[in-house]
């Protein structure tokens, strides 16, 4: 390796460690050693330090150990004429630089609490988002699991012009990659260049402005580390396993735009530890397959993808705007709205239905009523999107699977925003999309192209009609509601006893190798994305996919929910790490979790009951842990007695914690979760003869400690208090 780049990296690491130590000592004077530090709503302390060393940095006093570790790893300052016998000093300097950057940023959060927005999107007076919280990690982590996000580019610096900045960002979006932005080139910042050009930035568009400083880059490395700890069952402190996991499963690279400073070089050296190569547009010394330099801006994206070994698959879709998952989170607002449908403004409905094969003309798209070019900007129209499919393999059970795709497939079109499903959908089309030639008919064309591409195995022909007259839309709404009710009744009437086959879901095994989710009619997937019917249809559509049939076999314990065939499958699919678990219990060997769960339940011994908390709730819970800490405790594919992950819908299923008396044991939930599941919960409460049970369940307005809520439970005569002891 060239001593030039080694000298720069080592010198930069010394500068960063000095800055970190100075900031820490100043903070000690004003705040004291007991002052808590960390990144808001994250479970992994300072994640790079924790992941590599196993050391928890929770207070300013704890920072002393991290500073000492930095000093231990730092090699002596080099001169260009010094000989470099191995890469180890540079990698160690890079790791010290990342540790120092985490300390710098943690103290920034402490001393400048409003420096970062702590949101998914920029706000009016601040574009810097800072560290991703664990809600964002879960939501975006799923995209890395299912392949819609192949990886991320950590970009330091800015492009030579706004036009080149847009080209690079758009190329990364169209390849479905996330872009993490930090550091400046002179007085230019990439995020500012994009905003000046009218490009939306934020987590929803995959263009993430972490911060303006070099040290902000550590949020991207920390995101990768948290993926490994949350989903990969990597144990903190096992640095070799962490580096291997990130190299082999988290496909990332560093892109340096502009002159590489010494602090940039140190940060890039830190990234090399994780297997993340560096690609630069300036002339710096190279390391084969690790540092590639002097790449022109028009080729840098493709060159980075080649060096990292990413496999990007892009299929052409017949629409006049850019198309891909990176545009799914784009927002169309205010003066930019050309057309709005649904969302309470007008009727809107989406419906997939099967037809005899001779009644469907494949590829036919019709707009019945006004088209986009026939209405003025700012219009509102009713809309019904009717997708009719036919084929020898098509079944009624597949209709909701196809229908569920409409949401994200429309959202993938740049300048088109879609929210909701069924008869509560909401569509906005931007003026920019219309100027490029986008019409309502293109919705039909993109649905035909993508559904054929992804699900062509189950149907032969497909046609789409879009209705934009009120009387037509209302007639379609009535028909669609009948179909929705029939579908819901099919799954609602099923029980675990009524079927001999459950289904697996192994989507999260790319992150959590020992986790095996088995889904039954009365226990939906813990991520909330799959029920039994979905998995059955998924297997029929893709027999070698992540949803495989699991024969129940002999019933070993009907109360706990344990079957011989399921145990055998779990043992095999977990590679021998898990030999059994129970579907209906929180105390006796509950099901494993991967980190993707919507909710976590935990026992509250003093209350003789169980609390459950959803991921969106970020405050303290009565079990003494926030959701993030709970997720770190039970995630990674292990069974944790006393705790269990589950979906929101599972709370209202009859077998939820049936071994411990089910919803009679629920004594605390966040108010927002109670409101969200109220209708279905009240149905179950009526069934068991306690129609006002939800009102007897405490929430954060009552308290967030067992002692605080116990008196409320007593006053409300909560049934948990009269049940047999949990422990």
Given a cut of 80, whether residue 193 has pLDDT beyond it is yes
Q: Please state, for a pLDDT cut of 90, what percent of the chain lies above it.
A: 75
Say which range, 74-88, 203-217, 266-280, 409-423, has the weakest mean pLDDT: 74-88
Average pLDDT over residues 18-26: 98
Instruction: Please give the Cα distance from 9 to 7 (Å, whole number).
Output: 6
Given a cut of 60, whether residue 511 has pLDDT beyond it is no
- CA dist list (Å): 293 to 2, 160, 166, 177, 261: 13, 16, 21, 21, 14
Average pLDDT over residues 110-116: 96
Instruction: Please give the Cα distance from 16 to 1 (Å, whole number).
Output: 22
Query: What's residue 396's pLDDT?
Result: 87
Buried residues in 319-345 as b, exposed as e (16+ CB within 10 A): bebbbbbbbbbbebeeebbbbbbbbee
Query: What's residue 512's pLDDT?
Result: 65
Instruction: Please give the Cα distance from 226 to 137 (Å, whole number).
Output: 8
What CATH number has the domain spanning 325-483? 3.30.1650.10
Token pair for 656:
């939820």
Average pLDDT over residues 287-295: 91
What CATH number has the domain spanning 3-308? 3.40.50.2030
The string of pLDDT tens digits covering residues 651-666 is 999 999 999 999 999 9
Distance of CA 442 to the CA centre of its chain: 29
Given a cut of 90, whether residue 35 has pLDDT beyond it is yes
Instruction: Please give the Cα distance from 304 to 255 (Å, whole number).
Output: 8
Query: What's residue 180's pLDDT?
Result: 98
Query: What's residue 556's pLDDT?
Result: 97
Neighbour tally for 429: CB within 10 Å: 28
Say which range, 247-261, 483-497, 539-553, has the weakest mean pLDDT: 483-497
Average pLDDT over residues 9-19: 97
Pick the CATH number of 496-722 from 3.30.379.10, 3.40.1470.10, 3.40.710.10, 3.90.1150.10: 3.40.1470.10
Query: What's residue 249's pLDDT?
Result: 86
Domain boundaries, the chain: 3-308, 325-483, 496-722
Token pair for 78:
């080099």
Report which of residues 291 and 458 the model is more confident about. Answer: 291
Given a cut of 70, whether residue 430 has pLDDT beyond it is yes
The string of pLDDT tens digits covering residues 336-355 is 999 999 988 999 999 999 99
Q: Please state, for a pLDDT cut of 70, what percent of the chain lies above it.
A: 97
């Amino acid at each position: 390796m060239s001593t030039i780049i080694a000298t720069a990296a080592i010198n930069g690491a010394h500068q960063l460690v000095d800055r970190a130590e100075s900031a820490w000592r100043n903070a000690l004077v004003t705040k004291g050693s007991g002052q808590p530090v960390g990144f808001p709503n994250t479970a992994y302390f300072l994640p790079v330090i924790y992941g590599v060393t196993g050391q928890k940095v929770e207070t300013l006093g704890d920072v002393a150990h991290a500073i000492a570790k930095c000093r231990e790893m730092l090699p002596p300052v080099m001169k260009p004429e010094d000989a470099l016998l191995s890469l180890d000093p540079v990698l160690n300097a890079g790791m010290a630089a990342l540790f120092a950057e985490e300390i710098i940023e943690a103290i920034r959060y402490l001393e400048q609490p409003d420096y970062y927005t702590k949101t998914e999107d920029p706000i009016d007076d601040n574009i810097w988002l800072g560290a991703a919280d664990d809600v964002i990690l879960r939501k975006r982590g799923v995209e890395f699991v299912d392949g819609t996000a192949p990886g991320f580019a950590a970009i330091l610096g800015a492009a030579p012009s706004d036009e080149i900045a847009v080209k690079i960002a758009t190329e990364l979006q169209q390849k479905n990659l996330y872009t993490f932005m930090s550091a400046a080139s002179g007085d230019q910042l990439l995020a500012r260049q994009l905003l000046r050009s009218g490009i939306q930035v934020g987590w929803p568009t995959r263009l993430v402005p972490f911060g303006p400083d070099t040290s902000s880059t550590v949020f991207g490395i920390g995101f990768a580390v948290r993926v490994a700890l949350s989903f990969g069952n990597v144990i903190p402190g096992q640095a070799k396993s962490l580096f291997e996991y990130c190299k082999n499963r988290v496909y990332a690279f560093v892109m340096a735009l502009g002159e590489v400073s010494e602090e940039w070089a140190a940060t890039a050296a830190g990234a090399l530890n994780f297997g993340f190569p560096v690609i630069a547009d300036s002339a710096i010394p190279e390391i084969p397959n690790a540092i590639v330099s002097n790449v022109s801006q028009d080729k840098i994206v493709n060159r980075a993808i080649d060096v990292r070994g990413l496999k990007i698959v892009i299929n052409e879709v017949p629409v006049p705007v850019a198309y891909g998952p990176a545009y799914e989170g784009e927002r169309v607002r205010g003066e930019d709205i050309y057309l709005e449908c649904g969302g309470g403004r007008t009727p809107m409905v989406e419906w997939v239905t099967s037809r005899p094969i001779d009644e469907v003309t494949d590829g036919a798209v019709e707009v019945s009523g006004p088209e986009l070019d026939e209405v003025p900007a700012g219009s509102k129209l009713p809309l019904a999107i009717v997708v009719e499919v036919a084929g020898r393999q098509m079944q009624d059970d597949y209709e909701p699977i196809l229908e569920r795709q409409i949401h994200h497939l429309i959202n993938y079109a740049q300048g088109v925003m879609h929210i909701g499903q069924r008869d509560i959908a909401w569509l906005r089309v931007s003026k920019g999309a219309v100027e490029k030639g986008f019409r309502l008919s293109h919705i039909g064309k993109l649905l035909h192209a993508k559904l054929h591409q992804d699900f062509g195995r189950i149907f032969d022909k497909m046609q789409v009609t879009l209705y934009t007259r009120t009387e037509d839309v209302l007639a379609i709404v009535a028909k669609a509601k009948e179909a929705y009710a029939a579908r819901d009744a099919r799954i609602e009437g099923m029980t675990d006893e009524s079927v001999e086959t459950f289904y697996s879901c192994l989507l999260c095994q790319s992150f959590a190798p020992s986790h095996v989710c088995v889904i039954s009619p009365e226990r939906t997937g813990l991520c909330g994305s799959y029920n039994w019917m979905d998995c059955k249809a998924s297997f029929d559509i893709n027999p070698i996919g992540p949803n495989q049939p699991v024969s129940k076999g002999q019933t070993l314990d009907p109360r706990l929910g344990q079957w011989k065939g399921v145990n055998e499958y779990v043992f095999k699919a977990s590679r021998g790490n898990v030999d059994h678990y129970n579907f209906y219990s929180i105390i006796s060997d509950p099901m494993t979790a991967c980190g993707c769960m919507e909710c976590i339940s935990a026992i509250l011994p003093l209350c003789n009951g169980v609390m459950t908390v959803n991921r969106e709730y970020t405050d303290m819970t009565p079990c003494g842990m926030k959701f993030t800490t709970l997720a770190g405790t039970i995630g990674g594919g292990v069974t944790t007695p006393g705790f269990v992950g589950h979906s929101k819908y599972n709370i209202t299923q009859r077998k939820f914690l049936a071994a411990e008396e089910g919803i009679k044991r629920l004594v605390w939930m966040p108010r927002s979760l109670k409101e969200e599941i109220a209708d279905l919960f009240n149905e179950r409460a009526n069934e068991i003869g306690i129609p006002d049970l939800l009102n007897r369940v405490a929430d954060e307005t009552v308290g967030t400690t067992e002692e605080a809520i116990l008196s409320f439970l007593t006053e409300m005569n909560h049934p948990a208090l009269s049940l047999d002891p949990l422990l």
